[in-house]
Structure 1
Amino acid sequence: MSRMSASTLLEQVLDDGTFSSWDTTPVDVCPGPEYAAELRRARERTGLDESVITGEGQLRGRRVAVLACEFGFLAGSIGVAAGERLVQAVERATREGLPILAAPASGGTRMQEGTVAFLQMVKIAAAIAAHKAAHLPYLVYLRSPTTGGAFASWGSLGHLTLAEPRALIGFLGPRVYAALYDAPFPEGVQTAENLRAHGLVDAVLPPEQLAEIADRALSIMTARSYRPAAAPRPAPDEVAVQDVPAWDSVLASRRTERPGVWQLLQIAATDVVPLTGTGQGEVDPGVVLALARFDDVPCVLLGQDRRGQSAEHSLGPAALRAARRGMRLAAELGLPLVTVIDTAGAALSQQAEEGGLAGEIARCLAELVTLQAPTVSLLLGQGTGGAALALLPADRVLAAQHGWLSPLPPEGASAIVHRDVSHAPEMAAAQGIRSTDLAATGLVDVVIGERCDAADEPVAFCRRVGRAVQRELAQLMAEDPGQRTARRLQRYRRIGLERRSARAIAATGIST
C-alpha cells in the first residue's frame, strides 16, 4: 500500500496554513560513525532531522497539538532524540490545555541505540498519562505500519483510537517473528480491520475522513466546561404515567418493536461517535459505547443494546469491561456519563464464570457509585439481574414507564418460590419491580410516561427520553462535584430505608 508522509497527513488534517512546528534541534545521542552516517542519509532523504514531527495547528478552527511519525526516517523508529521530542510536545500540550492528535507510523524502538531507546516507552507513557489526568483528550490515528514500542506506548493510550485501512498494526513485527520462529506470522491478524473486530480500534477510516471524525469527537471531549442556562428548558409533550400491572410492563419491555439504545441515539442525540469494545481485545455486541450530545450537553454514553443480545449471546464479562471503559473515559475527560439499562440478564455459562462475570459486576458497581463525573442512569426496558444493576447507581435514575428492575426475571422468581413459572405475573407484582414501585422506594427519580407503549410511538418516546436526560445532565453539571458525589453515596447507603408517595409519583410523567 502507498504510504502518506507525516507532512502530507498534517496538511490534509489541519486547516490550511495553520501548522506551526514545535521541534527544536534533536538532543545529541553521540552516535558512532555508522549510525551517524545512517542519520545523515535519513535527513537528506526526508528533509527532516528526526523520525517525529511535533507542533500545533487548527483542526476545523480548534487549536490542537499534533505528533506524527515519518516512517521514511529510519522506519519511524523511536530513539532518545525522538522520545524526548515526543515527551516535550506532550508536556507542552498539557501545560497549554490542548488536545493531542497522535499519528504513529513506526517499526518501534531504534535498535542502533539499544536499551536506552527501549526505555523511552516509559517516559512517553508517563507524559501521556499526565496529559489524560489533566482531563485533556488524546486521540490516536494508527498508520501503517505501527509496531513494537510505538504501538505499545503512545499508540495504545488513546481515548479514541482510529486506524488507516489495511494498516499493519501489531506488537511483534512480522519480519522479526519470521526470523525468530522460522515461520510467517498468521495472515490477517495484524491488520486494522482485525483489531477493530477485537475491540482494540474504534474505527477504520482513510486519512481524508480523519479531520471530520476528530472534530466531532473533540467537540464533545472538550465541552466539559459546559454550563447550562440559568433557566431550565420547558418540558413539552410529557405523558402521564399510568398505573398498570407489573406484568403488563414486563411484556411491553420484551416487544421486539420497542426502541432501544441505538434508536435513542439516532433520534435524540447528535454528534454521535461510536466506540468499539473494551480496548483490551474484546467486543460484546450487547453493549453500545459512544460519545454523544443530548441537545447541547456532552456525555459518554454506555448502554445495553437489546438487539445485540439473545438467548445464545447474553451479556458476558466483556460487556461489563466495555462498560468500565466508558466509566474511565468519563473520569479522564471530565464528562458526564449516561448509562442505559435494557437486558434480559447476564450470560449463564462456563465462559462467563471463568471470564470473571461476578467480579466485573462488582467492579462496575464500585466504580460507578464512586465516579467523580456526573452520572445519569436510564432504565429503558428490561432490567434483569446483576448485569442491569451494574449500570444503575447514578446521581439520577430515570425509568421509562415500562422499565423494570429485578434480581431475576419474574419467571425465575416464580420457579424459586412456586417451583413453576406460571406465577410470574404474581411475582412481578409482589417484588415491586415496576418503575413506579422503584420510584416509591427512592431508587428512581423520574418516570417517563409512555403512550400505552413506547413501541407504538418510538420517535416521540425517544425525544421525550432525550429531553429528560438533557435536563438531568444540565442540572448535575451545575452542581459542586464533591457535594454531588457525597450525596450519591448517601443515597445508596439509605436505599430501602425510605419510601415516597406512589400516588404522587404516578400522577405525572416527570417526577422528582
Structure 2
Amino acid sequence: MTDRLPAREAIALVTDGFTELRVPIRHFRPDGPLAWQGYDEARSRAAARTGEDESVVCGSAVVGGTRVALIAFEFGFLGGSLGERTGDRLEAAYTHAREHRLPVVSLVATGGSRMQEGMLALTQLQRVARQSALTREAGLPQIAVVRDPTTGGGWATLGAGSDVTLALPGAQVGFAGSRVRPPGADPAAYTAEAQVASGAVDAVVPEESLRETLALWLALLSAPSAEAAPVPAALGAPGLPATGRDAVDRARSPERPRAEAYLDAYFSRRAAISGDRCGGTDPGVLCGFGSGPKGRTVAYAAQCGTATRPAGYRTAARLIRLAGRLGVPVLTLVDTPGAANDARAEREGAGSAIADLFAAVATARTPVTTLVIGEGGSGGALALAAPDNTWATPDSYFSVIAPELAAAILKRPANEVRATADQLRIRPQDLLDLGVVRGIADHAGK
C-alpha cells in the first residue's frame, strides 16, 4: 500500500467482504462552503479519476472472521484530505460501530485538512476526536493502519489516536507533511520506521502480512474475559534458596528463564504493542495481548531483567489501561534490578512514569496477576506488581533495595552483604511468610 493503493484495493487486500455504508451527501453552495473558485471542478476531476465521490470509503467488513467497521482513505481524491463531507462519513462509521458493537479498523492515507473548506475542514478533527473518544468509552477496540502518506490532522486523530497503530514499510508518517516541513528537515524522521523507534507506532507490517496481522489483533481484542489470568508455571530450577544470598544468585543467574520463555510457554500466539506515545520505547519491557490458557485473551507486561526505563513504565501503564477499557485481564512478569537511575532517565521523567504505573495498577478495571520471575528490585519492580495477587517463582527475590546497596547505605563492609541479604528477608518463602506474595508458583506438570 506504500504505492498509494486505491481505497477499494486496500479494502480488498485485508477483508473477506465489504458492504459500504451509505451516508447522505451534504449539499454545498457552488464551490463549497467558502465559495472557493474552482473547488467544484477539482472535486469533479478527483471523482472521475478515482471513481469515488469523497476522500473516504466507510462500511462494515469481515477481517479474519471478525466483523468490523472499516474506514479507508482514498488518497487520489484531493490527497485524502478531510472536509465536511469526510467528517459526515467518519462520524457515521463510528456511530455504526457503536450501534453494532464493532471494532473500528482505519486504513489511513491523508495529507490533512482540505484548504478549500478552510476552518470548517479543520474542525472535522474535533468531530473525529469526539467519535473516537465515544467509541473508546464504549469499550470497542480501534486499530489503525497508516499508509503512505499519513500526515496532518488525520495522523493526529485516526492514526496516532487508535489503540493499536500499525504502519506499512517506508510510509511517510508525521504531523508535518513534506511541503510544510522546516528547510533542512531530515526526511528519515517522518517515516513509519522512525515512528516505531520513537514509540508512536506499534509495528511496521509488510503488506503481504497485513491481513493476517489484523486478523490476529481483532481476534485477541474482541474476546474480553472477567476472570483473572492464571499464574504461570515456574520454569526455572526447583527447590527454594537456603539463604538470601542464594536467592539473589539464583535470580541473577544467566541460565534462569527470562520473560520471553515465560511468554512462549503461556501463550499460544501473541501480538505486541510498543512505545509510550511520548517519544520513547524500552526493549526491556514487553507488552501486548496473547491467547493464554483455555484460549482466553490476556494482556501482558513483562520486564526482561534490565533496568526499566521511563518509556517502559509508560508503555506498561498504557497496556493496563487499554486492557481495562476492553475488559481483558492482565499478567505482569517482574524481573528488574530496579528502575534506570541515570541522568537520561531523570530527564525523561522516571519518577512521574513510575508514579503513573503505580496508579494504573491500583485503579485497573480488570484483574491483574503478577509473577516475580527473577529480580524484584525495589520500587522499580513493585510498580508492576498487583497489590493482592503477586506470586513468586523459586528462583526469584523481592527486596526494598539490593543487598549490596543496603550494606553500602548502612556503611557495612563488603563481607557483611550476605548477612544483610538474610536480614532483608527477600527469599520467596520469606515473602510468603510476610504476606508480600500470595504463593510460590508450582513447576509445570506439578
Cα deviation 1:124-174 (Å, max 9, x = unaligned):
011111111111110000000000010011111122111011000110111
Q: 2:347 aligns with which of 329, 354, 361?
A: 354
Cα deviation 1:176-210 (Å, max 9, x = unaligned):
22xxx4x2421211111111111111111123211
Q: 1:54 aligns with which of 51, 58, 82?
A: 58
Aligned to 1:204: 204
CA contact (8 A) 2:238 2:394 kept: no
Aligned to 1:422: 415
Quote the Cα distance in structure 2 between the aligned partners of 1:73 and 1:238.
58
Q: 1:318 aligns with which of 294, 303, 311?
A: 311
Cα deviation 1:351-394 (Å, max 9, x = unaligned):
22232212222221122112111110111100011110110134
Residues 84, 213 of structure 1: alpha-carbon distance in 2 compared, 3 angstrom cutoff: same
Aligned to 1:443: 436
Amino acid aligned to 1:358: G
CA contact (8 A) 1:70 1:105 kept: yes
Aligned to 2:10: 9
Aligned to 1:286: 284
Equivalent residue runs for 1:130-169 within 5 Å: 130-169=134-173
Q: 1:78 aligns with which of 78, 82, 85?
A: 82
1:393 alignment partner, SS class: coil
Quote the Cα distance in structure 2 between the aligned partners of 1:160 and 1:62.
16
Aligned to 2:224: 224
CA contact (8 A) 1:374 1:395 kept: no
Q: Alpha-carbon deviation of 1:215? A: 1.2
2:332 alignment partner, SS class: strand
Residues 410, 237 of structure 1: alpha-carbon distance in 2 compared, 3 angstrom cutoff: closer
Quote the Cα distance in structure 1 between the aligned partners of 2:48 and 2:244.
76
Quote the Cα distance in structure 1 between the aligned partners of 2:23 and 2:425.
67
CA contact (8 A) 1:9 1:207 kept: no
1:153 alignment partner, SS class: helix
1:4 alignment partner, SS class: coil
Quote the Cα distance in structure 2 between the aligned partners of 1:247 and 1:260.
20
Amino acid aligned to 1:288: L
1:176 and 2:183 aligned: no
Aligned to 2:69: 65
Amino acid aligned to 2:77: F
CA contact (8 A) 2:106 2:143 kept: yes
Cα deviation 1:395-422 (Å, max 9, x = unaligned):
4111101211112111111112243332
Equivalent residue runs for 1:2-401 within 5 Å: 2-15=3-16, 18-30=17-29, 31=32, 32=35, 33-177=37-181, 181=182, 183-225=183-225, 241-242=239-240, 244-295=242-293, 296-306=295-305, 309=306, 314-401=307-394
Query: Deviating runs (4+, > 3 A) in structure 1?
Result: 225-228, 235-243
CA RMSD of aligned residues (A): 2.2
Cα deviation 1:447-504 (Å, max 9, x = unaligned):
024xxxxxxxxxxx5x56xxxxxxxxxxxxxxxxxxxxxxxxxxxxxxxxxxxxxxxx
Q: Alpha-carbon deviation of 1:280? A: 2.3
1:9 alignment partner, SS class: helix
Amino acid aligned to 1:171: F
Q: Alpha-carbon deviation of 1:74? A: 0.3
- Percent of pairs with identical residues: 34
CA contact (8 A) 1:26 1:82 kept: no
Gaps of 5+ in 1: 450-460, 465-508
Quote the Cα distance in structure 1 between the aligned partners of 2:275 and 2:414.
36
CA contact (8 A) 1:376 1:394 kept: no
Quote the Cα distance in structure 1 between the aligned partners of 2:279 and 2:227.
37
Quote the Cα distance in structure 2 between the aligned partners of 1:358 and 1:420.
30
Aligned to 1:485: none
Quote the Cα distance in structure 2 between the aligned partners of 1:172 and 1:239.
53
TM-score relative to the length of structure 2: 0.93
Aligned to 1:467: none
Moved more, 142-151 or 239-248: 239-248
Residues 5, 394 of structure 1: alpha-carbon distance in 2 compared, 3 angstrom cutoff: farther
CA contact (8 A) 1:140 1:155 kept: yes
Q: Alpha-carbon deviation of 1:55? A: 0.4
Cα deviation 1:326-352 (Å, max 9, x = unaligned):
112112211111111100111222222
Quote the Cα distance in structure 1 between the aligned partners of 2:330 and 2:301.
8
Quote the Cα distance in structure 2 between the aligned partners of 1:106 and 1:223.
31
Residues 197, 56 of structure 1: alpha-carbon distance in 2 compared, 3 angstrom cutoff: same
Quote the Cα distance in structure 2 between the aligned partners of 1:395 and 1:76.
50
CA contact (8 A) 2:276 2:314 kept: yes
CA contact (8 A) 1:26 1:49 kept: no
Quote the Cα distance in structure 1 between the aligned partners of 2:236 and 2:217.
31
1:377 alignment partner, SS class: strand
Amino acid aligned to 1:368: V
Aligned residue pair count: 437
Moved more, 412-421 or 88-97: 412-421
Quote the Cα distance in structure 2 between the aligned partners of 1:316 and 1:198.
14
Residues 361, 236 of structure 1: alpha-carbon distance in 2 compared, 3 angstrom cutoff: closer
1:363 alignment partner, SS class: helix
2:25 alignment partner, SS class: coil
Q: Alpha-carbon deviation of 1:241? A: 4.9
Amino acid aligned to 2:200: L
TM-score relative to the length of structure 1: 0.81
Quote the Cα distance in structure 1 between the aligned partners of 2:388 and 2:11.
42
Q: Alpha-carbon deviation of 1:19? A: 0.6
Quote the Cα distance in structure 2 between the aligned partners of 1:61 and 1:151.
28
Gaps of 5+ in 2: none
1:404 and 2:405 aligned: no
